[in-house]
Amino acid sequence: MDTAFTLNEGVEEGLKKILSSLLEKGKIQAAMVLDHTEGGGAAYSLITDPQMMAQTRPLLPLMPANAALALSRLTLKEPLSGPVAAVVRPCELRAFVELVKRGQGSLDHFIFISPVCGGVYPLQETLVKGGIEKKLPEYREAMRQGEIAVDIREACRTCEHFVPTGADMIVAAMGQDDPETHGTVFMQTDRAAELIQDLGEVMIAEKQTEGPLETDLIRKHQGLRRDQKKKLAQEMQLDQSGLDGLIEIFGRCIGCHGCRAVCPICYCELCVFESRDFEPKPVDFERDLSRKGRLRVPPDTLLYHLGRLNHMALSCVGCGSCTDVCPVDIPVSSIFIQVGESLQELFDYLPGRDPEEEVPFTKYETEEFAEFED
């Protein structure tokens, strides 16, 4: 349903005022949004005081950590007991849905507000002089024009799923006429419409949008993203990698497992690659040495990456946090996203599109994949 409200404010300010009002009226217990930090960056904040909404930056194009981690932490032990609004990007919401399917959280009582996403900047951008603030004017212009903002994460640049699915409200940060002055918010669920009901005095604009959410500008942007994805695939030629190619790509890896730690899908409290199963004993080294004569220590770098691909790529939402956290600049997301999409195509699966859709490894058909068996 394309019920929409156009506000007298730009998308970000409007959103802040909506949330502030909802907090004041007690319609939500808390709002989880990006908040500025002293270091010039941002971090998610669970806000209960309406006054504190004023300083937040809900639509700042930065992802310090995939919000799904926070959403899962909040509801790991139990579901929420009351309504909490959360402003999260489309991939963050999809990641949380994937976690919910695996018993790592609950969707109950959440009100998800998600923007049409123009992507986020790499974390390192906050460390450059001027930081994200310096990038904002060109970012907003790109959103207005339906163009891809320069310098956003590669994962974002090539992401086709920038229109949220599963959100209660969609903030049209792109696609409508004046997102900076008259933001439009689309209500996707009854619950959302209910919440917004008597927000009348909170700046509903004279001229209301008719909809739809997906305009020509959005479609143009989709095309641009698709082109970027194709271009990346052509540049990387991942299927020509083989062992040598993989060793080149992952050669610098120091085994810090940062990629696993920030991945929203990797929820195992003790990852198998950090468990005793993967701690070599002297006899293992002796055997390998006698066979090969020399081996890398600690061993099993490629095994870790190939293993992690097998374990989570099917649910990879392409957020790009892995690349950002890597201390040796390995483009982890470039590989994981391509492999993930290949798997997702094989199983006709899109992670997070539907909470009722089971993870493909947990079900089967009696006749399928004949091309893989002998």
Partner 1 sequence: MKGAQIPAPKGIADGILSFLKKGLQEGIFDALLLPVKVPAGDSFSYVLMRETDLMDQASPLPPVMPVQGAKALSNLTRYGNGAEKIAVPMRPCEIRAAVELHKLEQVNLENVFLIGLDCPGVLPLKEYLKNPKKGDALYRKALQEWALESPRWVCEICDPVSPEAADLHIGIMGAPRGKLFLIPNTPKGKKLLKRLDLKAESSLASRQTEIKKLAQKRTKNKERALRALRQEVRGPERLLEIFANCINCHNCMRVCPVCYCRQCYFDSEALKMTPDNYLMRAQRKGGLRLMPDTLLFQLGRMSHMSLSCVSCGMCEDACPMDIPVSRIFTLVARDAQIVFGYLAGRSLQEPLPQVIYREEELKEVETPYQETYRPS
Partner 2 sequence: MEEAFKPKIVGFLCNWCAYAGADLAGVSRLKYSASILPIRVMCSSRIDPLHIITALLNGADGVLVAGCHPGDCHYQQGNYYTRRRFAAVKRILETLGFEPERVRLSWVSASEGQRFAQVIGDFTRKIAELGPAPCRTEAFL
Residue 286 binds to partner 1 (criterion: CB under 8 A): yes
Residue 159 binds to partner 1 (criterion: CB under 8 A): no
Residue 30 binds to partner 1 (criterion: CB under 8 A): yes
74 binds, among partner 1, partner 2, none (CB under 5 to 8 A by kind): partner 1
Distance of closest approach, residue 295 Cβ to partner 2, in angstroms: 5
Residues 220-279 that bind partner 1 (CB under 8 A): 244, 247-248, 251-252, 254-258, 261-262, 269-270, 274-276, 279
141 binds, among partner 2, partner 1, none (CB under 5 to 8 A by kind): none
Q: Two tokens at 367?
A: 């006749």
261 binds, among partner 2, partner 1, none (CB under 5 to 8 A by kind): partner 1
* 7 Cβ contact partners less than 8 Å away, ≥ 6 residues apart: 14, 17, 18, 182, 183, 184, 185, 202, 203, 204, 205
Site for partner 1 (CB under 8 A): which residue of 79, 130, 223, 355?
Answer: 79
* 82 Cβ contact partners less than 8 Å away, ≥ 6 residues apart: 28, 29, 109
Q: What is the DSSP string of 246-283?
A: HHHHHTT-----HHHHH-SS---SS-GGGSGGG---HH
- Separation between Cα atoms, residue 124 and residue 12, nearest integer Å: 23
- Separation between Cα atoms, residue 37 and residue 200, nearest integer Å: 32
Residue 123 binds to partner 1 (criterion: CB under 8 A): yes
CA 60 centroid distance within chain: 14
Residue 302 binds to partner 1 (criterion: CB under 8 A): no
Distance of closest approach, residue 166 Cβ to partner 1, in angstroms: 20
Q: For residue 159, give the amino acid letter.
A: C
280 binds, among partner 2, partner 1, none (CB under 5 to 8 A by kind): partner 1
Judging by beta carbons within 10 Å of its beta carbon (0-12, 13-18, 19+), is residue 306 exposed, middle or buried?
middle
Q: Two tokens at 250?
A: 């992952």
* 303 Cβ contact partners less than 8 Å away, ≥ 6 residues apart: 273, 278
Distance of closest approach, residue 361 Cβ to partner 2, in angstroms: 6
- Separation between Cα atoms, residue 67 and residue 355, nearest integer Å: 17
Distance of closest approach, residue 223 Cβ to partner 2, in angstroms: 24
360 binds, among partner 1, partner 2, none (CB under 5 to 8 A by kind): partner 2
Residue 258 or 360: the one with the smaller Cβ distance to partner 1 is 258
Instruction: Indicate the DSSP class of residue 103.
Output: T
Angle at 171 between CA 114 and CA 60, to 5 degrees: 70
| Nearest alpha carbon to residue 333 among 311, 351, 318 | 318
Residue 81 or 362: the one with the smaller Cβ distance to partner 2 is 362
**Measured in Å, how far apart are the chain's first and last C-alpha atoms?**
47
Residue 60 binds to partner 1 (criterion: CB under 8 A): no
Distance of closest approach, residue 90 Cβ to partner 1, in angstroms: 19
Binding site for partner 2 (CB under 8 A): 238-247, 251, 272, 291-296, 299-303, 306-307, 309-311, 313-314, 335, 338-339, 342-343, 346-347, 360-361, 364-369, 372-374
Site for partner 1 (CB under 8 A): which residue of 1, 150, 303, 328?
Answer: 328
Distance of closest approach, residue 359 Cβ to partner 1, in angstroms: 23
Residue 74 binds to partner 1 (criterion: CB under 8 A): yes
Site for partner 1 (CB under 8 A): which residue of 130, 223, 327, 355?
Answer: 327
- Separation between Cα atoms, residue 337 and residue 313, nearest integer Å: 7
Distance of closest approach, residue 34 Cβ to partner 1, in angstroms: 10
Distance of closest approach, residue 146 Cβ to partner 1, in angstroms: 30
- Separation between Cα atoms, residue 360 and residue 133, nearest integer Å: 42
- What phi and psi values does residue 59 have, to the nearest 5 degrees? -110, 20
80 binds, among partner 2, partner 1, none (CB under 5 to 8 A by kind): partner 1
Distance of closest approach, residue 109 Cβ to partner 2, in angstroms: 34
